[in-house]
Amino acid sequence: MIYDNERIRRRDRLLQEAEATHLLKNGEYGVLSMQAEETGAYGIPVSYVWDGRSAIYIHCAPEGRKLRCLERCDRVSFCVVGTTRVLPDKFTTEYESIVLSCRAFLGPDERERRHALSLLLDKYSPLDKETGLGYAEKSFHRTRIIRLDIESWSGKAKRSAR
């Protein structure tokens, strides 16, 4: 996993790696962008969890457009947007975001799938994890896990003094 801000045009808006890592760990959701089945692109907001190393996990139904797109092409982009604030009188917006280039893997084994669901519960429902594990067990047969292997990523932020 390579953090690389070299291609960012606005050098004054680079997000430092520690800040980008914080956003990756704590972001509420991300947008998964894929090549559509036909021509064009398909992007969809999803809940996700980062494993703390080099992978992002997403859960979904066992069929659907997202899976058809990923079966066609495993190269994806994943974007997480953090805090934003519109400054109407300045005609601008403060923001922080990261963009990751990834390869999607659709075949994690049962152990890895259970681990991913546990990580998702740690992130989104830590106070109800035991109940969540029971729910995950009941629906395990109809839950698909997608692993995004992070190849490179970058981060950008705009912050203004007010």
Query: The domain spanning residue 16 has which CATH number?
Result: 2.30.110.10
Is residue 16 assigned to a domain?
yes
Is residue 116 assigned to a domain?
no
How high is the pLDDT of residue 135? 87
Is residue 118 assigned to a domain?
no
Is residue 135 assigned to a domain?
no
Range of the domain at 35: 2-107+141-157
> Which segments of the chain have a pLDDT < 50?
none
Record the tokens describing residue 119, joined without a space: 């990580």
Is residue 91 assigned to a domain?
yes
Distance CA 26, CA 15 (A): 15
Is residue 120 assigned to a domain?
no
Number of domains in the chain: 1
- Digit-coded pLDDT (tens) for 87-115: 999 898 999 999 999 999 998 999 999 99
DSSP H helices in the chain: 17-26, 65-72, 110-124, 129-138
Go through 38-67 and write b for each residue having 16 or more CB atoms within 10 A of its CB, e for each that does not.
Answer: eeeeeeeebebbbeeeebbbbbbeeeeebb
Is residue 54 assigned to a domain?
yes
State whether the Cα torsion 133-139-141-146 is positive or negative: negative
Is residue 72 assigned to a domain?
yes
What predicted TM-score, i.e. pTM, was given to this entire model?
0.92
